[in-house]
Amino acid sequence: MRRLLLTAATTTAAALTLAACGTTEPAADSAKKTSGAISLTDSTGAKVTLDGPAKKVVATEWNEVESLLTLGVDPVGVADVKGYKTWDTAVPLKNEPKDIGTRGEPSMDTIASLSPDLIVASSDLPDAAVKQLRKIAPVLEIKSADASDQIGQMFTNLDLIAKATGTTDKAKTARENFEAKVAEGRKALADAKLDGTDIAFADGYVTSNQVSLRPYTDGSLIGSVNKQLGLKNAWKVKGDPAYGLGTTDVEGLTALPEDVQFAYIGNDDDKSSNPFSGQLKKNAVWTSLPFVKADKVHRLPDGIWMFGGPGSMEAYIDALVGALTK
Amino acid sequence: MAVTEAPPVTRPPAAASRTGAAAVTAALVLLVAALAVVDITQGTAAVGPGQVLKALTGQADPGDASVVIASRLPRMAAGILVGVVLGIAGAVLQAVSRNVLASPDTLAVNAGSYLALGLVGASGVSLPLLASSGVAFAGGLAAAAVVLALSGLGTGTVRLVLAGTALALGLNSVTEGLLLLFPQQTEGLYQWNQGSIGQNGFDGVLQMLPVALIGLVGLLLVARRVDALALGDDAARGLGVPVRATRVTVVVLAALLSAAAVTLAGPIGYVGLCAPALVRPLARRFRGFVRARAVLPVAGLAGAGLVLGSDVLLRALIPADTAVAVPTGVVTSLVGAVFLVVTALRLRDTAGADAPDRLRIPSRTAFLVTVTTLVAAVVGITLAGVLLGDSKLLLGDVANWVQGRAGQTVSFVLDTRVPRVLAALFAGAALALAGTLVQAVTRNPLAEPGVLGVSGGAALGAVLLVTTLPAAGSWGVAGAAFGGAALASAIVFGLSARGGYRQNRLVLVGIGMAAGSTALISLLIVLTDPFNAVKALTWLSGSTYGRTMPDVLPVALVLALGLAVAVARRTELDLVSLDEDTPRLLGLGLPRARLGFLVVGVLLAATAVASAGTIGFVGLVAPHAARALVGRRHVRVVPVAVLLGAALVGTADLLGRTVIAPAQLGAGLMTAVIGTPYFLYLLVRSRRAT
């Protein structure tokens, strides 16, 4: 132990001598220019002032990344780049942004080293962390989800980010595209006499021999889109106040109406996220469900982020309408 | 060190005959059957008693029938199977180790299985059930093997539990790290770790049944030898029983049983601890229950009753959809916690003063060398902590920053990094000091704020505040943590005050409190924010993330106070830690002195938890290591322990921030990862010495 401590002490001493007294950045800092300043109020009511449209943007949550990409802004820093590439291929990354760490604890150091003009942060981050981020650059805090008005929240966020990046025209196009897509989908479903159909969207996770399911209630983003498409959410489960997600188990599926259309998204890169096409195949409750027998279960393509932005939701509408009208 | 030794089993004159034992067994069977019947009528589907009855007589419509056959009955069967195997595993482990605290939980079997399954989950592989059960068995057995190899078969039972709890803490930390790093791949694993008996069809139960049967039959075959072991190793040897071989066989079989339970339902906490304890009073009353062959099935029945009872209770109290999200294991843990406390209070505490650790007394020079080296190490770690991170800095940057001349990036990096480094150092020092005080007062090598439930109480208080008032400031969080810690320690110390904080009672009540607060924290997370387990885990894993200078202030102030008290009262500390009688002979008011030190210890632990989350191990490792390095006198132990604590958590924070950057792990996780091997090394060394 003592020898260990001695070695530790001497090595650190040696390392410090080597690291001594250089600097990685010049000491002084010059004044900044200001022209065309933008002032905004973010989701938390905080005032954010920018010198001009932000070009170098860092985003801590995937729906913000998607919003940026939709607006034609390639973020310089993204939390969990690999995860984004797995779960959100509907709006793919065009550049190779720097990975700033996990979505829950993005690294301050890495963000600072990117010296961004703007940080788009999720309001799920701890307050202390946001306070620190404000020292690096202006921070736009975004409320990721609000079960009382999910689509409205999505566009509020998009508009806010658009204002900060000077891309309001693109936000407008995105909104129009989305509305057109909804109308198109709604019409296609009505033409196929599917309006008012009961729909249940869920995802699920398998751990060991247990299957836990997450019903997407009316309050979820997918649930809201379904409603706009003229479908009727069949879940009676209560969702959480932010994401509108409930919990249930396989038995809980028996509460769904007999002629319900059941849709889900999994991911082939994440085997535990695919109970419906895996574990449940042999489950007697599942196989005896009327909608399973009637083959009304639809797996939608991977890579549509269920908590994403208009891009993901358009892909969802295409996929769902395609599956239902097939 | 007879801390967790079971009181010698004194056999009272037989009060009742074999018929009494048979009647009790029959009553238990009836109870389990009744619970089972109630259990199959509960669930998310609208299938109540009427439909169940119809389904069982083949008259229900196919949908209801499938629910009963593929969901309710498997769940009920799993509950019984899991309860039985855990109860038996616990009973037999307690018998061979002659230790009332031995169980799959305390032997790290569950933690080993959890980690093994976590690794599989994180790698994204989806295994069939039998294979994952094999993985769980391998993990559980490996953990048990490590614990037993390090603690030495048939040597101290305290060491067994020490090694087990330590390893369990370390392994759980690694698994929690995996959960944080792979939130998608391991989705559901956190919940699963709370234990839930819900089943996807009968397959699981049917596949695990043979495994469980092999274990059970094996155990019944060696039951006679287990009985012999109860007489003591020497007596058993005298009867020609191979002591070592019996222990190994029993542990392997118990690990097999626990692995079957873990694969089926996740770790259902504390059943293995409670069930045998429930049966123990029976053994005193009915002669029929003296022998293992009779006791094991009864312990199994008690286990089944516990698991099913918890499940029924949960589903009866909470609406069906919410009940799905609340794992049965949380309830068994809560039941287990209350149970532990009650047992502890009823336990006749015979553990008197233990012999002081046999340690050499190092010279003054050795002490000075140690302190100097440690100071150098802490300074080095502090500087390294400040310079290293995702962006590396040089000393000149720091100099600029100190003078307020640094550029934007550097000043930002240092503004956020320095509070984190300080939070880690102070929290480490405070926990080490708290551990030193508590170990001195209780004269118990297991006692530390974490084990005694003080940290758990603090975390519960803080999480309660953070979930209800997200905008709470640092003094608010520190206050809530202190409130929780004070309440927890008031309960723990209050309940064990009778007889002057006797050792067994204190630790048992403490472990009960720790388990209870962990279960309550899980419950709170599941009920308030089920999809944000990562957020809560991040906070609970002892993270310095996002700390600012004001957050560091409470712990710094309390640390200064604690050090002042420890230095001023060093002689009293020595006396208190010596034995029961000497301080009394010298006229020292023992209960009051103990209470004073405990209050300071609680303050230290609470502020440390508030500033850096729950960081286990430091309070356990630092004082131990300090005593091993410089002897037992507190004038030496206190500075060395405090420096060691600061160095340990400082290093942990540094590694957590740098090794997998830009992602990061909490200091608490890293502390456990560093602390576990060192602690185990200490155990090995002390075995060689004796």
Q: Using 50, 70 and 90 to split pLDDT, how confident is the model at B559?
A: very high
Q: Does A126 touch chain B (CB under 8 A)?
A: yes
What angle, 0 to 180 degrees and rounded to 10, lies between the N-to-C axes of helices B157-181 and B129-151?
A: 140
A161: Cβ contacts below 8 Å, ≥ 6 apart: A64, A67, A68, A71, A73, A120, A140, A142, A171
Is the per-residue pLDDT at A305 higher than 90?
yes
Q: Does A303 touch chain B (CB under 8 A)?
A: no
Domain assignment of residue A148, yes or no: yes
Identify whether the C-beta of residue B650 lies closer than 8 Å to the C-beta of residue B382.
yes
Residues B97-130: pLDDT tens digits? 777 777 888 788 888 888 888 888 777 666 776 7
DSSP string of B562-598? Answer: HHHHHHHTHHHHHHHTT-SHHHHHTT--HHHHHHHHH
User: Which residue of chain B has the CA closest to A110?
Assistant: B390
Tokens of B178: 């995996």
Domain assignment of residue A23, yes or no: no
How distant is the Cα of A98 from the closest Cα of chain B, in angstroms? 9
Is the per-residue pLDDT at B295 higher than 60?
yes
Of B176, B139, B143, whose CA–CA distance to B160 is shortest?
Answer: B143
Query: Looking at the domain that runs over B19-346, which CATH code has it been given?
Result: 1.10.3470.10
Q: What is the DSSP letter of A99?
A: E
Q: Are the Cβ atoms of A105 and B409 closer than 8 angstroms?
A: no
Q: Are the Cβ atoms of B413 and A109 closer than 8 angstroms?
A: yes
User: What average pLDDT does this structure show over B303-318?
Assistant: 89
Q: What pLDDT shows up at residue B502?
A: 60
Q: Does A81 touch chain B (CB under 8 A)?
A: no
Parallel, antiparallel, or unpaired: how do β-strands A38-41 and A47-50 relate? antiparallel
Q: Are the Cβ atoms of A251 and B43 closer than 8 angstroms?
A: yes
Mean pLDDT lowest for which of A21-35, B57-71, B191-205, B600-614? A21-35
**C-alpha dist (Å) from residue A232 to A198, A215, B66, B438:** 5, 14, 27, 61
Q: Are residues A73 and A183 both part of a single domain?
A: no
Q: What pLDDT shows up at residue B170?
A: 81
Percent of chain B surpassing pLDDT 70: 83
Q: Does A137 touch chain B (CB under 8 A)?
A: no
Interface of A with B in 4-43 (CB under 8 A): 5-6, 8-9, 12-13, 15-16, 19-29
Domain assignment of residue A219, yes or no: yes
Strand, coil or helix: B366: helix
Which member of B44, B124, B263 has the closest CB to residue A270? Answer: B124
Q: Are residues A161 and A193 both part of a single domain?
A: no
Identify whether the C-beta of residue B451 lies closer than 8 Å to the C-beta of residue B620.
yes
Q: Are the Cβ atoms of A209 and B44 closer than 8 angstroms?
A: no
User: What average pLDDT does this structure show over A243-247?
Assistant: 88
Residues A48-58: pLDDT tens digits? 888 889 999 99
Of B247, B255, B293, whose CA–CA distance to B96 is shortest?
Answer: B247
Residues B474-521: pLDDT tens digits? 778 888 888 999 999 888 878 876 655 565 677 778 878 887 888 888
Q: Are residues A127 and A210 both part of a single domain?
A: no
Q: Are residues A215 and A277 both part of a single domain?
A: yes
Tokens of A99: 């990975």
Interface of A with B in 199-238 (CB under 8 A): 205-212, 214, 237-238
How distant is the Cα of B409 from the closest Cα of chain A, in angstroms? 6
The residue among B531 and A38 whose pLDDT is bigger is: A38
Run of H or E residues at A298 = strand A297-300
User: What average pLDDT does this structure show over B149-173?
Assistant: 70
Q: Which domain holds residue A228?
A: 174-325
Question: Rounded to 5 degrees, what are φ and ψ at A134?
Answer: -60, -20
Kindly report the number of other CB atoms within 10 A of residue B17's CB atom: 12
Residues B1-14: pLDDT tens digits? 334 444 444 444 44
How distant is the Cα of B158 from the closest Cα of chain A, in angstroms? 24
Identify whether the C-beta of residue A111 lies closer than 8 Å to the C-beta of residue A205.
no
The residue among B300 and B359 whose pLDDT is bigger is: B300
Q: Are residues A249 and A273 both part of a single domain?
A: yes
Residues B9-31: pLDDT tens digits? 444 444 445 677 788 889 999 99
The residue among B120 and B584 whose pLDDT is bigger is: B120
Q: Are residues A140 and A53 both part of a single domain?
A: yes
Helices of type H across B196-350: 203-221, 223-230, 233-238, 243-265, 271-285, 292-317, 320-325, 328-346
Long-range contacts of B360-365 (CB under 8 A, 24+ apart): B360/B631, B361/B631, B362/B629, B362/B630, B362/B631
How distant is the Cα of A320 from the closest Cα of chain B, in angstroms? 24
Q: Are residues A193 and A211 both part of a single domain?
A: yes
Domain assignment of residue A20, yes or no: no
Residues B323-339: pLDDT tens digits? 777 778 888 888 878 87
Length of chain A: 326
Q: What pLDDT shows up at residue A246?
A: 87
- Testing the interface with B: which of A208, A265, A279 to mutate, by most B Cβ within 10 A? A208
Residues B373-414: pLDDT tens digits? 999 999 999 988 888 877 777 777 788 777 777 777 777 788
Which member of A27, A87, A131 has the closest CB to residue B400? Answer: A27
Q: Using 50, 70 and 90 to split pLDDT, how confident is the model at B34?
A: very high
DSSP string of A101-163? Answer: B-SSSB-HHHHHHT--SEEEEETTS-HHHHHHHHHHS-EEEE----TTSHHHHHHHHHHHHHH
User: Which residue of chain A has the CA closest to B657?
Assistant: A107
Amino acid at residue number B150: L
Q: Are the Cβ atoms of B380 and A25 closer than 8 angstroms?
A: no
Is the per-residue pLDDT at B560 higher than 90?
yes
State the span(s) of chain B assigned CATH 1.10.3470.10.
Answer: 19-346, 369-685
Query: Which residues of chain B have a CB within 8 Å of the CB of A43?
Result: none
Give the integer Cα–Cα distance in Å for A199 and A234: 5
Q: Are residues A154 and A217 both part of a single domain?
A: no
Of B523, B520, B522, B495, whose CA–CA distance to B510 is shortest?
Answer: B495
Tokens of B611: 């500033």
Q: Using 50, 70 and 90 to split pLDDT, how confident is the model at B180?
A: low
Query: Which residues of chain A have a CB within 8 Å of the CB of B413?
Result: 108-109, 112-113
Give the integer Cα–Cα distance in Å for B266 and A209: 9
Task: Count structural domains, chain A.
Answer: 2
Q: Are the Cβ atoms of A208 and B399 closer than 8 angstroms?
A: no
Strand, coil or helix: B121: helix
Amino acid at residue number B655: L
- Testing the interface with B: which of A4, A100, A109 to mutate, by most B Cβ within 10 A? A109
The average confidence (pLDDT) of chain B is 80
**C-alpha dist (Å) from residue B265 to A206, B175, B190, B251, B272:** 12, 17, 13, 21, 14
CB pairs under 8 A between A and B: 282
Identify whether the C-beta of residue A58 lies closer than 8 Å to the C-beta of residue A75.
yes
Q: Are residues A291 and A183 both part of a single domain?
A: yes
DSSP string of A37-75? Answer: -EEEE-TTS-EEEESSS--SEEESSHHHHHHHHHTT---
Give the integer Cα–Cα distance in Å for B292 and B274: 17
Q: Using 50, 70 and 90 to split pLDDT, how confident is the model at B169?
A: confident
Query: Which residues of chain B have a CB within 8 Å of the CB of A105?
Result: 538, 543, 545, 663-664
Is the per-residue pLDDT at B581 higher than 90?
no
Q: What pLDDT shows up at residue A29?
A: 46
Q: CA dihedral in degrees (A135, A137, A138, A142; nearest 10)?
A: -100
- Testing the interface with A: which of B206, B390, B669 to mutate, by most A Cβ within 10 A? B390
Parallel, antiparallel, or unpaired: how do β-strands A118-122 and A57-59 relate? parallel
Please tell me the CATH superfamily of domain B369-685, with its number.
Answer: ABC transporter involved in vitamin B12 uptake, BtuC (1.10.3470.10)
User: What average pLDDT does this structure show over B681-686?
Assistant: 68
Q: Are residues A159 and A72 both part of a single domain?
A: yes
Q: What pLDDT shows up at residue B533?
A: 55
Q: Are the Cβ atoms of A212 and B324 closer than 8 angstroms?
A: yes
Give the integer Cα–Cα distance in Å for B673 and B643: 19
Query: Which residues of chain B have a CB within 8 Å of the CB of A115?
Result: 408-409
Run of H or E residues at A261 = strand A261-265
Q: What is the DSSP letter of B128?
A: -
In angstroms, what is the C-alpha Rg of chain B?
Answer: 26
Question: Rounded to 5 degrees, what are φ and ψ at A287?
Answer: -70, -20
Long-range contacts of A265-269 (CB under 8 A, 24+ apart): A265/A203, A265/A299, A265/A300, A265/A301, A265/A302, A265/A304, A265/A306, A266/A203, A266/A299, A266/A302, A267/A86, A267/A87, A267/A302, A267/A303, A267/B184, A268/A302, A269/A86, A269/A302, A269/B124
Give the integer Cα–Cα distance in Å for A161 and A155: 10
Q: Using 50, 70 and 90 to split pLDDT, how confident is the model at A15?
A: low
How distant is the Cα of B581 from the closest Cα of chain A, in angstroms? 34
Domain assignment of residue A25, yes or no: no
Of B437, B91, B149, whose CA–CA distance to B296 is shortest?
Answer: B91
Q: What is the CATH number of the domain that holds A102?
A: 3.40.50.1980
Give the integer Cα–Cα distance in Å for B628 and A72: 63
Of A91, A58, A266, whose CA–CA distance to A164 is shortest?
Answer: A58
Kindly report the number of other CB atoms within 10 A of residue A18's CB atom: 9
Give the integer Cα–Cα distance in Å for B144 and B160: 10
How distant is the Cα of A280 from the closest Cα of chain B, in angstroms? 7
Q: What pLDDT shows up at residue A16?
A: 53
Q: Are the Cβ atoms of B413 and A8 closer than 8 angstroms?
A: no
Q: Are the Cβ atoms of A109 and B389 closer than 8 angstroms?
A: yes
How distant is the Cα of A277 from the closest Cα of chain B, in angstroms? 13
Q: What is the DSSP letter of B633?
A: -
Of B679, B665, B651, whose CA–CA distance to B613 is shortest?
Answer: B665
Interface of A with B in 281-300 (CB under 8 A): 282-285, 287-290
The strand order across the sheet containing A77-78 reads A98-99, A77-78, A57-59, A118-122, A139-142
Beta bridge partners of A119: A58, A139
Q: Are the Cβ atoms of A27 and B629 closer than 8 angstroms?
A: no
Q: Are residues A235 and A198 both part of a single domain?
A: yes
Q: What pLDDT shows up at residue B17?
A: 57
The domain boundary, picked from A166, A185, A214, lies at A166
Q: Using 50, 70 and 90 to split pLDDT, how confident is the model at A226?
A: very high
Q: Are the Cβ atoms of A271 and B125 closer than 8 angstroms?
A: yes
Query: Which residues of chain A have a CB within 8 Å of the CB of B325?
Result: 247
The domain boundary, picked from A148, A166, A184, lies at A166
Which member of A20, A26, A272 has the closest CB to residue B121? Answer: A272
User: What average pLDDT does this structure show over B224-253?
Assistant: 85
Q: Are the Cβ atoms of B373 and A245 closer than 8 angstroms?
A: no
Q: Using 50, 70 and 90 to split pLDDT, how confident is the model at B690?
A: very low
Give the integer Cα–Cα distance in Å for A187 and A95: 36
Q: Using 50, 70 and 90 to split pLDDT, how confident is the model at A262?
A: very high
Of B100, B95, B103, whose CA–CA distance to B231 is shortest?
Answer: B95
Query: Tokens 């592989």 sit at which residue?
Result: B125
Query: Which residues of chain B have a CB within 8 Å of the CB of A58?
Result: none
Q: What pLDDT shows up at residue B401?
A: 79
Q: What pLDDT shows up at residue B156?
A: 53
User: What average pLDDT does this structure show over A144-153?
Assistant: 91
Q: Are the Cβ atoms of A255 and B44 closer than 8 angstroms?
A: yes
Query: Which residues of chain B have a CB within 8 Å of the CB of A290?
Result: 63
Strongest mean pLDDT among A27-31, B69-73, B546-550? B69-73
The domain boundary, picked from A166, A190, A206, lies at A166
Q: Are the Cβ atoms of A246 and B187 closer than 8 angstroms?
A: no
Cis preceding linkage at B662, omega within 30? yes
User: Which residue of chain B has the CA closest to A12?
Assistant: B380
Domain assignment of residue A156, yes or no: yes
Question: Rounded to 5 degrees, what are φ and ψ at A212?
Answer: -110, 135
Q: What pLDDT shows up at residue B3?
A: 41
The average confidence (pLDDT) of chain A is 86
Tokens of B398: 């720091």
Query: Which residues of chain A have a CB within 8 Å of the CB of B531?
Result: 214, 240, 242-243, 245
Query: Which residues of chain B have a CB within 8 Å of the CB of A207?
Result: 117, 121, 188-189, 191-192, 266
